[in-house]
Amino acid sequence: MRALQLAARGDPSEVVRLVDVPDVGPPRPGEVVIDVEASPVEPTDLAIIAGTYGYLPPLPHLLGAQGVGRVAAVGRDVDYVREGDRTLVPLLSNAWAERVRTDVPWLRPLPKGDVGQLSMLGIDPPTACLLLTEFVRPRAGEWVIQNAANSGVGRSVIALARSRGLRTVNVVRRPELLGELTALGGDVVLVDGPELAADIAAATDGAPIALALDGVGGASTQRLLDAIAPCGTVVVYAGMSGEPARVSNPSLVYAGQTLRGFWVVNWLREQTSVEKVASLYRECAAATTPYPIAGEFGLGEHAEALTVAAKFRGKAIFRPNG
């Protein structure tokens, strides 16, 4: 069986290699085998390769944070999917391979759809959904601010917020994205900068905003704190700027604001209800928005795929059995 393996932490062009590994074999009781159809290159994957992610298994190890595929075989006592169903490859299950074997009971058959888009359902949409529910629960008509609005999480926030009747302020770093995100359903789309808080107040008629979502870090974190109401919350879920969040103590002390962190892997690890996780993914599958795909690649084209992915202008998708 072919798979992509990480030999060391560092430059993806130097440390990722195509290898032949033993096949996963038949499923044991409670397990399923999935033929992987598509798996994207995510920021998660790039962080694992660089050694900066929150989960770093011992080297060498196989790669691929998420994906989608067809159920090839089911073990005894499996009744949640059947052979031939299309389903997710669970998070961090080495999806850059021809097959995976897993025992995650919240897997369910997926609806019909583009396989490349479905392959991106595992991380960003549930992160977006939980960001909107686990800390502050805005009511219909209320505003939510997010930076990194063009990311996979950001686009999912737009779709999920719209399905719940919420309004979004979407902050980007490139002016050419303004029209695109507006067309996707963003109520307000703004370019980040020193006057962001004033721009948001003007665009929302000074509405008190209780929740902001930070996927950028650096100086942008404080600008979100400046834009939310007293006692509001900023949830940090990524750091795409590569800089640590910079905040002013008075915002937290005198305004009573809260800075929280969130990682969907922790949430999934803590869940004891299979149906709660399955329900989360059902909602995500029903309220998704397309993400640009920069290209599709075989496993042997990994160097090119990783180069394309690092430009963050669209997803590079591996087709392990293509």
How much is the average pLDDT of 286-305?
92
pLDDT at residue 84 is higher than 90: yes
pLDDT at residue 198 is higher than 90: yes
d(CA 131, CA 126): 8
* Structure-token match 């929150």, residue found: 54
Residues 6+ apart with CB under 8 A from 73: 26, 27, 32, 33, 83
Token pair belonging to 210: 């209780």
d(CA 75, CA 55): 28
Q: Is 237 a catalytic residue?
A: no
Average pLDDT, the chain: 95
Token pair belonging to 265: 């892997």
pLDDT tens digits for range 220-279:
999 999 999 999 999 999 998 888 898 988 888 999 999 999 999 999 999 989 999 999
Q: Angle of helix 274-286 relative to helix 124-131, nearest 10 degrees?
A: 100
Question: Which of 195-199, 263-267, 309-313 has the least mean pLDDT?
Answer: 309-313
Furthest C-alpha separation in the chain:
61
**For residue 175, what pLDDT is reported?**
95
8 A C-beta contact, residue 181 and residue 162: no
pTM for the full model?
0.94
* Structure-token match 């109401």, residue found: 229
pLDDT at residue 313 is higher than 90: no
% of the chain beyond a pLDDT of 70: 100
Band (pLDDT 50/70/90 cuts) for residue 46 is: very high
Classify each residue of 39-69 as buried b or exposed e, where b means 16 or more C-beta atoms within 10 Å of its C-beta. Answer: bbbbbbbbbbbeeebeeeeeeeebbbbbbbb
pLDDT at residue 288 is higher than 90: no
